[in-house]
Amino acid sequence: MVLKAFFPTCCASADSGLLVGRWVPEQSSAVVLAVVHFPFIPLQVKELLAQVHQAGHVGLAVLGTWCHRRRGAEESLGQFLEGLGTIFSHEPWLQLCREPGSKLWSCKATRRQVPPHPGAPYEDQVMLVFYDQRKVLLSQLHPPAALPDRQAGDAAPSAGGLAAVFDTVARSEALFRSDRFDDGPVRLSHWQSEGVEASILAELAKRASGPVCVLLACLLSLVSAVSACRKANVLVSVLLDVALGLALLSWLRGKDRIGPLAEALVPVADHVAEELQHLLQWLMGAPAGLKMNRALDQVLGRFFLYHLHLWISYIHLMSPFIERILWHVGLSACLGLTVALSILSDIIALLTFHIYCFYVYGARLYCLKICGLSSLWRLFRGKKWNVLRQRVDSCSYDLDQLFIGTLLFTILVFLLPTTALYYLVFTLLRLLVVAVQGLIHLLVDLINSLPLYSLGLRLCRPYRLAAGVKFRVLEHEAGRPLRLLMQINPLPYGRVVHTYRLPSYGCHPTHSWGSLCRKLFFGELIYPWRQRGDKQD
């Protein structure tokens, strides 16, 4: 296998020194994390690596040497670096070298112990892969296969080829604490070394922000990386909700709209009731040219008209209090727009209560009729429903049973169109109201479950949410090792929404379209907001 050396771009301009990182033998790849500069004491370097191993449970080692010859440099540097190979023994020993001011690199990977060919060391073919250390440290890989309940910390270090690189960099945070500008025993170059401010004030601000960052990190480290994102999403959603609610409140108060709204509400309810009255009159006549059974028509029509009359009386009774109620409801908008929308949905439900009642009456009547019809139809054919066995069995009836049964069947059949028409009209009205309420609930759901923080992160810092990596081949010369640039492939927006979507506590329809149609046909009542697992009727 070709040996892959993952080299951080920040170290490409660093001075000569030792390469420190992790060797993954399964993928034959060396992940370089930092460069240790001269002068150093080998014992202290080994101590530092042991400390990092203890802190992050990642086995680091000295992988090789890095040679960046400045102009007029001595040749003895090369020999000195070769001698270091004897102090820090590592298989294979990497030797990376860069010509000054040019893009020409040379790499060698030598092995001392080769099982089938003892004696002379042989060299591996090396491929250089550059990576941006800061971005790799901060990013979080989202594997395409949905492995349930896997967190970044649980993954074994050797899981997946490139996931190992991300994992190594993430676990070696202890290594990045000290810098080449610090006065520690070991001087390192890594991603923290670039971008050192020239201004003293900026440096002081950075030092001061250290404790603040530590505090924030402590708070966030109470939860793992994945749910920290979820909590941020929830917080941003709630903030947006409250902001929209306050905007609505200010709009309502701005031009004093509550008064006109309250005054318009009762006439609207009156108008709806009037329209319903017209509808009932139409049904009691000859609707759409159909001929109804006169007696049943009159009974049902009058019953519904009286119910409507009662409802209108109650609305008029309530009218003095409407404005006060609306004022308090408007106040609740400061808790969030979703609260205001939910209250609006409830107000609609209350105002259309009579339609709900009509639907229930019509559905019950229709259901009874259908039950009776099906049972008498079985009697007509000489069968009956066996409740014990839950199936249709044949049965011998007496003559008078058959006679009465057939009579009743005929009566029910001829009364069916009237009942069915009333049921149809009121079911349509009820479905309309349910649709309006459903739209409001959808909007509330959308506001609650959209992961705005993750979407913002994807927009502004796309490297934080990584779907994978992508490679670009850099300038290549014959005889030189192949150089690739590894960049982070950000997660597409659809997957961001899908992964970080907050669980919605709203109601999903418990039945499919087929079962809905079946229920409508047989006149069973539809409860659109009933959750799965609730007590059934």
Partner 1 sequence: MEDERSFSDICGGRLALQRRYYSPSCREFCLSCPRLSLRSLTAVTCAVWLAAYGLFTLCENSMILSAAIFITLLGLLGYLHFVKIDQETLLIIDSLGIQMTSSYASGKESTTFIEMGKVKDVVINEAIYMQKVIYYLCILLEDPVEPHGISQVVPVFQVSTEQLSKVFSPKKICCLSPFSAFLLLLMFSRNVNSSCQDYLRTPDSYF
Q: Which residues bind partner 1 (CB under 8 A)?
A: 1-2, 4, 27-28, 125, 127, 129, 145, 147, 160-162, 468-471, 473, 476, 482, 484, 489
DSSP, res 524: -
Angle at 438 between CA 435 and CA 439, to 5 degrees: 90
309 CB-contact burial (10 Å; exposed 0-12 / middle 13-18 / buried 19+): exposed
Query: Nearest approach, Cβ of 476 to partner 1 (angstroms)?
Result: 5
Query: Nearest approach, Cβ of 160 to partner 1 (angstroms)?
Result: 7
Nearer Cβ to partner 1 (84/467): 467
Answer whether the bond into residue 260 is a cis peptide, omega within 30°: no
Q: What are phi and psi of 490, to 5 degrees?
A: -70, 160
Q: Contact at 8 Å (CB) between 293 and 415?
A: yes
Query: Nearest approach, Cβ of 472 to partner 1 (angstroms)?
Result: 9
Residue 124, Cα to own-chain centre: how many angstroms? 45
Stated as kind and residue range, the H or E segment containing 95 is strand 93-98
User: Can you tell me the distance from the alpha carbon of 279 to that of 275, in angstroms, rounded to the nearest whole number?
Assistant: 6
Nearer Cβ to partner 1 (282/493): 493
Query: Nearest approach, Cβ of 303 to partner 1 (angstroms)?
Result: 46
Query: Nearest approach, Cβ of 35 to partner 1 (angstroms)?
Result: 24
Tokens found for residue 407: 């009579």
Residue appearing with tokens 């003095």: 320
Nearer Cβ to partner 1 (324/470): 470
Nearer Cβ to partner 1 (147/399): 147
- 3-class DSSP state for residue 392? strand
Answer whether the bond into residue 92 is a cis peptide, omega within 30°: yes
Side-chain-facing half-sphere of 27: CA atoms under 13 Å? 19
User: Can you tell me the distance from the alpha carbon of 224 to that of 151, in angstroms, rounded to the nearest whole number?
Assistant: 8
Nearer Cβ to partner 1 (21/481): 481
Query: Nearest approach, Cβ of 95 to partner 1 (angstroms)?
Result: 19
Query: Nearest approach, Cβ of 307 to partner 1 (angstroms)?
Result: 44
Nearer Cβ to partner 1 (164/186): 164
Closest CA to 340 of 350, 331, 348: 331
Nearer Cβ to partner 1 (161/210): 161
Nearer Cβ to partner 1 (159/196): 159
Query: Nearest approach, Cβ of 326 to partner 1 (angstroms)?
Result: 36
Beta strands in 100-185 (DSSP E): 105-110, 126-131, 140-141
User: Can you tell me the distance from the alpha carbon of 437 to that of 444, in angstroms, rounded to the nearest whole number?
Assistant: 11
Nearer Cβ to partner 1 (120/473): 473
Q: Contact at 8 Å (CB) between 90 and 62?
A: yes
User: Can you tell me the distance from the alpha carbon of 514 to that of 399, in angstroms, rounded to the nearest whole number?
Assistant: 40
Nearer Cβ to partner 1 (145/317): 145
Q: Give the count of beta carbons closer than 10 Å to the beta carbon of residue 100.
A: 11
Closest CA to 252 of 344, 141, 373, 345: 344
Query: Nearest approach, Cβ of 323 to partner 1 (angstroms)?
Result: 39
Nearer Cβ to partner 1 (78/468): 468
Query: Nearest approach, Cβ of 109 to partner 1 (angstroms)?
Result: 14
Nearer Cβ to partner 1 (94/232): 94
Query: Nearest approach, Cβ of 330 to partner 1 (angstroms)?
Result: 35
User: Can you tell me the distance from the alpha carbon of 452 to that of 454, in angstroms, rounded to the nearest whole number?
Assistant: 5
Query: Nearest approach, Cβ of 161 to partner 1 (angstroms)?
Result: 5
Nearer Cβ to partner 1 (1/288): 1
What CA–CA distances, in Å, run from 143 to 62, 126, 140, 467? 30, 28, 10, 7
Nearer Cβ to partner 1 (85/468): 468
What CA–CA distances, in Å, run from 180 to 107, 129, 175, 203, 270? 24, 24, 12, 15, 81
User: Can you tell me the distance from the alpha carbon of 197 to that of 343, in angstroms, rounded to the nearest whole number?
Assistant: 54
Query: Nearest approach, Cβ of 2 to partner 1 (angstroms)?
Result: 5
The size of the chain, in residues, is: 537
Query: Nearest approach, Cβ of 469 to partner 1 (angstroms)?
Result: 6
What CA–CA distances, in Å, run from 46 to 61, 92, 420? 8, 18, 88
Q: Are strands 105-110 and 126-131 parallel, antiparallel or unpaired?
A: unpaired
In DSSP notation, 369-391 reads: HHHHHHHHHHHHHTEEEETTTTE
